[in-house]
Amino acid sequence: MSGCHFDYDDSRLDYLAEQLEQDITYNEVPWDNPVKKDDEEYYGVQLETKTIEYLKGVAGQLRELRRVLHEYDYAVSGDTCEKTFQERVGIK
């Protein structure tokens, strides 16, 4: 069955985490001097350090939520089972 309970929308959480991580990586890049890499230009958003630190945590939470939802998807789609879901997400 390969999941599909969420119609693969849970993968958008990875996209959001990647975007946050990119913003964090290029935060200090000035608008008038973007980083050019792989035919893309990356501009910084010049956020304060405390905001960047907070967003690092948010990116991690998004990835963890995606992992949990992915495991749930497998369980309710019949690829695994509830017990496997519980084991993989740490439910005791």
Q: What is the pLDDT along the chain (92 residues), one digit of tens a residue?
A: 567 889 889 999 999 999 999 999 999 999 899 999 999 999 999 999 999 999 999 999 999 999 999 999 999 999 999 999 999 999 99
Query: H or E stretch including 42?
Result: strand 40-42
15 touches 90 (CB < 8 A): no
